[in-house]
Structure 1
């Protein structure tokens, strides 16, 4: 700490990052519990959500970019989803080898069922958090992500 016993900006940010790591781990475990009856994990659910949120079918590399995730990890999960019949691959008119990932009807049903399980739980969580605090957290985390994406890691 500094001489005034006030934490520095870097110490305050470190505390936030550590809290974010712990919250992320807890959120993933919570998500796993929600969707496990559907044969999903949080990671699979997240990929299905990215496919749903995309304006049009995308290749794995674009899904990974949108998620801020490693392409190889996303590819592995997409392959698992394909084996389970939740996604299919379509030809990409812009790239011969980078096929487009598309939800199957089973994938759409599974994603819809996951959202049906999630909605009442997130509504209950939201009841206890002031909207302005959630909005402030969203702004801070978005700004932090943007800074991290543009930094060289130094």
Structure 2
């Protein structure tokens, strides 16, 4: 066993990151369920929430850009965009860089909706206990970011 501040050997790192990975799936599914449970009130599924938040953060994007960012199929993203458009939360606008691939952008209603969803999520996240420090959260973000970047290297896009 190494000192807590020393880098782990590749073998030990692999075992420890498996522990992290084993928590990410259940965490994602539980968080998605919480979002979906609120759907009758807000009408926002986890997939639509992801689309709305991507557009909030990055501005107008194409469906292929959103699919690459989320590492999911274009078809799934298109279904989520169609669902969001059905609620009036997004709209398709011409893309000056590519005639056949429109840009999708938030409407004012979409901006209001994602702001409300994020506010509710913030209230849920405030309930996380454990006396977590800024350093611990920064380390968690750093670890998960490194894992995402590692697995991106194998993506064909």
Q: TM-score range by the shorter chain?
A: 0.7 to 0.9
**Does 1:124 pair with 2:127?**
yes
- 1:139 alignment counterpart: 142
After superposition, the Cα gap between the structure-2 partners of 1:60 and 1:17, relative to the gap in structure 1 and judged at 3 Å, is same
Paired position in structure 2 for 1:25? 29
1:34–1:117 CA contact under 8 A, matched in 2: no
Aligned with 2:105: secondary structure?
Answer: strand
Kept in 2: contact 1:64–1:70 (CA 8 A): yes
Counterparts of 2:33 and 2:60 in 1: how far apart (Å)? 28
Equivalent residues of 2:36, 2:45 under 8 A apart: yes
Q: TM-score, normalised by structure 1?
A: 0.82
Equivalent residue runs for 1:40-79 within 5 Å: 40-54=44-58, 56-79=59-82
5+ residue gaps, structure 1 = 1-6
Equivalent residues of 1:34, 1:114 under 8 A apart = no
**In the alignment, is the contact (CA less than 8 A) between 2:35 and 2:44 conserved in 1?**
no
For the aligned residue pairs, the C-alpha RMSD in angstroms reads 2.3
CA contact (8 A) 2:90 2:104 kept: yes
Consecutive unaligned residues of structure 2, counting only runs of 5 or more, are 1-10
How many angstroms does 1:110 deviate by? 1.2
Report the Cα distance in structure 1 between the residues aligned to 2:71 and 2:155, rounded to whole angstroms: 16
Return the TM-score normalized by structure 2: 0.81
Please give the alpha-carbon distance, in whole angstroms, between the structure 1 residues aligned to 2:34 and 2:99: 39
CA distance in structure 1 between the aligned counterparts of 2:133 and 2:37, rounded to whole angstroms: 25
Match of 1:13 in 2: 17
2: CA distance, partners of 1:118 / 1:105: 20
Check conservation: 1:32, 1:41, Cα contact below 8 A: yes
Structure 1 residues 125, 70: CA separation in 2 closer, same or farther (over 3 Å shift)? same
